[in-house]
A = this chain, B = another copy of it.
């Protein structure tokens, strides 16, 4: 719509008639960007002949990208070229051979839901602004609570496992002493996460189901016994391991989780819901989340609305704007069903088992420990070290091997997996298996490739 100059209303020199954006041009740009994304990201995601990454060191990449924002805008052609470069130099976390983090692969249903979220641009504080997404969150939380084994409960999606854990600590503290919201920490006795001889007051035990490096699970039943005896809040950080609850075969890893008071569980990890998708789940049904966090903002949570304001769940959150992260998980769950999600978990753990057996068979590979979950931690020992005694010199040399192989694999772009030292152990690889795009052939390739890159060290 071109403003009619004759009747144009001017304020401060600004024409106020008609919209100023050119919708047609904008729509065309979005369409072209979608085409590019489809071709360069989605369709190539499953192609093992593509590189996992095209490595450039930071200073070099800065030169390759036109990062500077300027006074005037760039043309659509230039912007599309930029989009191409962004895709080209980004790590392909969807690639079947990206094993570097606790997330991987491409879930088509979650992706469609994520595109919808971005286009609709909702924030989920009140029912009036986000009717669908608040109901979806409610439905998903209810189902997750069922999988934990609680009869009822509450919960909230939030931006990360760390934030879930922070929520849990705050809730446990609030339950122990509701005055904290008014009086602050100094109104409380000095609290501690564990019982101790210091004269401090224990209030919370944090257990972990699926540690980040080793994929280890705490014995929840035994911990719950102790918590019950002493009246302590039991929080389980199942950010990574929680997804095993979807599998009838593997949920025994979390035996006793129904006795927890709160659980952190991130479907963006093993269940591929896309970053971020993290829920904190709370057994208590006395509206503890709301009691602990509500700030009663008058401009959002008016009590004289014409609908049931108990659906305005945003006042349970430390965030004001909040993304509808439950929605993408819900879409995948709808598409695959519980059985489809179970199949994914079972396959990932079966592939892990296969890799473990292959590592045992192959010369030069050494397991750090028998894995409980999808983290397979191992060393690669190059031929030059194989005859050496496992003394200080051996470990010192072995410590250098994983970083050097990692450098080679990144520069080649053939594969990405992580390494780290951990609790006195020198650098070892951590292989994480998640995506249903990954097959036995990729496991074989992984071991072949590490051997290829490391055998002359």
List B contacts of A249 (CB < 8 A). Answer: 12
Beyond A27-B38, A86-B132, A302-B427, 19 extra complex contacts between A and B, CB < 8 Å: A9-B354, A12-B349, A12-B350, A16-B351, A16-B439, A26-B108, A30-B42, A53-B131, A67-B330, A69-B333, A70-B334, A73-B334, A83-B116, A94-B121, A185-B185, A299-B418, A299-B422, A302-B420, A305-B403
Of A159-167, A174-182, A254-262, A445-453, which stretch is located at the interface?
A: A159-167
Q: How far is the CA of A74 from the CA of B439 in the complex (A)?
A: 25
From A418, which residue of chain B is reached at the shortest CB distance?
A: B299
List B contacts of A162 (CB < 8 A). Answer: 318-320
Decide yes or no whether A339 CB sits under 8 A from chain B: yes
Decide yes or no whether A343 CB sits under 8 A from chain B: yes
- CB contact under 8 A between A275 and B440, given known A91-B129, A103-B121, A139-B67: no
Min CB gap A320→B, angstroms:
6
A276, B351: Cβ atoms closer than 8 Å:
no
Residue A101 contacts which of B53, B129, B276 (CB distance < 8 angstroms)?
B129
A62, B338: Cβ atoms closer than 8 Å:
no
Residues 58-87 of chain A, each 1 if its beta carbon lies under 8 Å from chain B, else 0: 100110010111111110000100110111
Decide yes or no whether A407 CB sits under 8 A from chain B: yes
List B contacts of A26 (CB < 8 A). Answer: 106, 108-109
Residues 1-36 of chain A, each 1 if its beta carbon lies under 8 Å from chain B, else 0: 100000001011110111111010111011101100
Residues 266-289 of chain A, each 1 if its beta carbon lies under 8 Å from chain B, else 0: 001000001110000000000000
Q: How far is the CA of A71 from the CA of B339 in the complex (A)?
A: 5
Q: How far is the CA of A161 from the CA of B297 in the complex (A)?
A: 14
Q: How far is the CA of A29 from the CA of B34 in the complex (A)?
A: 14
A-B contact pairs, 27 of them (CB 8 A): A14-B350, A19-B46, A21-B46, A27-B38, A27-B43, A29-B108, A30-B42, A33-B116, A53-B128, A56-B131, A58-B127, A65-B136, A70-B338, A72-B338, A73-B340, A83-B112, A89-B131, A91-B131, A92-B120, A101-B129, A103-B121, A111-B118, A114-B118, A161-B320, A268-B321, A302-B419, A306-B403
A17, B440: Cβ atoms closer than 8 Å:
yes
Q: How far is the CA of A213 from the CA of B14 in the complex (A)?
A: 25
From A190, which residue of chain B is reached at the shortest CB distance?
A: B186
A34, B38: Cβ atoms closer than 8 Å:
yes
A58, B130: Cβ atoms closer than 8 Å:
no
Residue A163 contacts which of B34, B41, B96, B318 (CB distance < 8 angstroms)?
B318
Q: How far is the CA of A348 from the CA of B351 in the complex (A)?
A: 56
A58, B308: Cβ atoms closer than 8 Å:
yes
Q: How far is the CA of A49 from the CA of B50 in the complex (A)?
A: 46
- CB contact under 8 A between A346 and B29, given known A17-B440, A58-B311, A122-B93: no
Q: How far is the CA of A321 from the CA of B102 in the complex (A)?
A: 10
